[in-house]
Amino acid sequence: MERSYRHLRVDPVEDVFCVALKDTRLDEAEVYELADELLSLLNDRGCRKLVLALGPDSPDCLYSVFIAKILMLRRRLVELGGVMKLCSVSPHVKSVFEACQLTNYFDFLPDKTAALAALGKEASPS
């Protein structure tokens, strides 16, 4: 049975989990819940290839907590032999990653189609 997520839209494309935020406005507690949902993709559903869309609208949240959770997710995914691509990242959000000197830790792609292509997959028609 497909799990329902409070904060995520999950669109599997073959073995890639394409994930987008349902709501861009998150308080601190919701950022923690979001992180738990993302980790459940790895731990409960076996996700090893993740495309995380952070747009087109910029997330409105505590960026320090949000970025810490994205870093933790990336680290856990790498430990499991997986890979993550970020896509649809607005210039504002990308500037936050740049200010934190984290752009070298992530692969930024313009959209889901480009992220899937980077993983050797084709986007399903939406």
In this prediction, residue 1 carries a pLDDT of 41
Q: Is the dihedral of CA 92, 33, 36, 7 positive or negative?
A: negative
Beta bridge partners of 10: 19
The chain-wide mean pLDDT, for the chain, equals 90
- Per residue in 15-62, pLDDT (tens digit) is 999 999 999 888 989 999 999 999 999 999 999 999 999 988 777 776
Indicate the pLDDT class of residue 107, thresholds 50, 70 and 90.
Answer: very high
Domains of the chain: 8-118 (3.30.750.24)
pTM of the model: 0.89
CA distance 27 to 50: 23
Report the relative pairing of strands 8-13 and 16-21 from DSSP bridges: antiparallel
